[in-house]
Amino acid sequence: EAEVAQSPRYKITEKSQAVAFWCDPISGHATLYWYRQILGQGPELLVQFQDESVVDDSQLPKDRFSAERLKGVDSTLKIQPAELGDSAMYLCASSLAWTVQETQYFGPGTRLLVL
């Protein structure tokens, strides 16, 4: 069964450093999502792509976060500079389309710890 791939699985960094996370969605999935999950909470959407275009980044802290999906396939989420409050699980998900009924499939996540 096809899966969403993410790397790294774990990342420890010091505050003010730059970090980057990578996601490879299920083949053929046009829609890609990045979520942030704080311990004990549900995931919250950061950014949503349709192919290579950003369609929703209203919750992305744009002063420090950036995301790209240049060829409409894999995607990178970057934080620069990292802050202590960025410690969380970063989840990537993909879906075949953006319709309400469509299922989002999640990767294993990247757990970030900022010291």
Binding region for another protein (CB under 8 A): 4, 6, 33, 40-45, 48, 50, 55-56, 91, 93, 98-109, 111
Give me the least distance between CB of 11 and another protein, in Å please. 14
Q: What residues contact 70, with CB distance under 8 A and at least 6 apart? A: 52
CB of 16 to another protein, least distance (A): 27
Q: What whole-number distance in Å separates Cα of residue 18 and Cα of residue 39? A: 22
Instruction: Give the integer Cα–Cα distance in Å for 34 and 114.
Output: 19
Comparing CB distances to another protein, the nearer of 19 and 104 is: 104
> Closest approach of Cβ 95 to another protein, in Å?
8
Three-state SS for 106? Answer: strand
Minimum CB separation of residue 81 from another protein in Å reads 26
Nearer to another protein, 18 or 55 (CB): 55
| β-bridge partners, 105 | 94
Nearer to another protein, 75 or 104 (CB): 104
- 26-61 CB burial, b ≥16 within 10 A, e <16: beebebbbbbbeeeeeebebbbbbeeeeeeebeebe
- Closer to another protein by Cβ: residue 18 or 54: 54
